[in-house]
A and B are shown apart, each in its own frame.
Chain A
Amino acid sequence: MDRETATPEETEAVGAEVAARLRPGDVVLVTGELGSGKTTFVRGAARALGVEGPVTSPTFTIGHVLPGRMEVAHVDLYRLDSLAGEDPALLHDYLTPERVAFVEWPEAAAPAFDRVTARVRLEHLGGDRRRIRIE
């Protein structure tokens, strides 16, 4: 499915739409350039899953676990390209059967995901406009 959004709020709404179809254990990979709206998309999805607190970029700590109706793991592997040889168990701390997981910058650990429910790709269309491809 292909969507175009004109505001961050619309990007959040697409996130919410995707979230509605997720079950515990599902993993969603979210790709796109810097500033393309990955965290915004995940924020919308997390809100739809009952997360109330801030949904901020997890770049620095690799991942956040957010309490909601079910737990949401928000993982970001942006820094992993400089972590060659990192223990793959790093991901096991976040990706569990009880949680829905969103993984930003998943490229660095692509082979490590055995259950990918959806792949979301965000692209800049200029200004606040974005194209969101969901497979």
Chain B
Amino acid sequence: MAYGPGTRDGVILAVETSCDDTCAAVVTAGGEIRSNVIASQGLLHSRYGGVVPEIASRHHLELVDAVTADALEAAGTGLEEIDTVAVTRGPGLIGALLVGLSSAKALAAVRRLPLVPVDHLHGHVVASTLGPEPIEPPYLALVASGGHTFLARVDVPESYTVVGQTLDDAAGEAFDKGARLLGLGYPGGPAIDRLAEKGDPEVFDFPRSAPGELDFSFSGLKTALLYAIRDLGEGEADRRRPDLAASYQRAIVDALVSRTRAALEREGLRRLAIGGGVAANSELRAAVQALGVPVWVPPLELCTDNAAMIGGAARFLRPLPYPDYLSLDAAARIS
């Protein structure tokens, strides 16, 4: 690929521990994903055993070595064939980030390999540049997850410019908190998605907030759901849960899609990539197809947190040579 300075040669081992999934992947400079291992709670219970706390650096600490070994094995390779190590530097939970960062530093330093610190959100933005049919800039990226919701303009894959963002809650957080109000489990996105299939999205008219030019706001929506449940009363709210879920989901998806449409227009962009955990939502995946531009919708394992996208972003960034990265610190927030 004819992009600017970057890690264009060789094989990249990437580590990602910004939140509650322990992830490692092997990707090539050409964008092939040779392995992408994600130890989420579900996987942990079935594959690694034991009860896992929701978010804790401890569990990353226990798993990061095994997950990294798995990623190398699944890629049919070993550390001796790795040319570069990539790791999420932030944003995320500081304790969790530190585990991945320390582990990646050690992996790199032992073999005197260069290390690429990666902005987690850059990973989501360029997730669709991986795989057999990569998106090519310029494009618009809609990233919506539990912690972040923004629109970014991508002219070159080594950077991105945020053109709109949430002013309060992230879209995934709106799903999680809405699910809690509806008495559903965590994570809320899949739970609401499933229940919404049985409901009518036109029954409740929840607000679609459109602050600023291209920004998002989801906190009023959350309050509207709370009031709707209260007004219905417990029994009736319980009977109408599918309609509430469907209408609530419709409001979130509408807000995301209408802002995306406006951003495509204002920025004069003709390609769209979506990413982040909310990009796994079935209604959003369908709705973006009606925007009239080609849309890259990554497979589910590239939407939720994963290390392949971190390796994907690292391809476009300048690696730090050994030992320059040893003093590198994690950053909870990246400005």
> A residues touching B (Cβ–Cβ < 8 Å)?
33-36, 39-40, 53-54, 56-57, 59-65, 79, 82-87, 90, 93, 124, 126
Shortest distance from the beta carbon of B120 to any chain A beta carbon, whole Å: 11
Once A34-B181, A34-B226, A86-B53 are accepted as A-B contacts, the answer to whether A61 and B92 lie under 8 Å apart by CB is yes
Question: Tally of A-B residue pairs with Cβ under 8 A?
Answer: 81
Interface SS of chain A: loop
Shortest distance from the beta carbon of B39 to any chain A beta carbon, whole Å: 18
B170, A64: Cβ atoms closer than 8 Å: no
One digit per residue, 1 when the CB lies within 8 angstroms of any chain A CB and 0 when it does not, for chain B 285-314 equals 000000000000000000000000000000
Cross-chain pairs A/B with CB under 8 angstroms, 27 sampled? A34-B177, A34-B180, A34-B222, A34-B226, A36-B223, A39-B168, A39-B169, A56-B169, A56-B170, A57-B173, A59-B147, A59-B173, A60-B19, A60-B170, A61-B19, A61-B91, A61-B147, A61-B332, A61-B333, A64-B332, A65-B332, A79-B54, A82-B186, A83-B53, A83-B55, A124-B223, A124-B227
Distance in angstroms between the alpha carbons of A83 and B186 in the assembled complex: 13
Contacts of B180 in A (CB 8 A): 34
Distance in angstroms between the alpha carbons of A85 and B51 in the assembled complex: 13
> Which listed residue (A85, A93, A126) contacts B94, Cβ 8 A?
A93
Contacts of B170 in A (CB 8 A): 56-57, 60
Contacts of B226 in A (CB 8 A): 33-35, 124
> Which listed residue (A36, A57, A61, A84) contacts B169, Cβ 8 A?
A57
Distance in angstroms between the alpha carbons of A95 and B166 in the assembled complex: 25
Q: Does B43 contact A (CB under 8 A)?
A: no
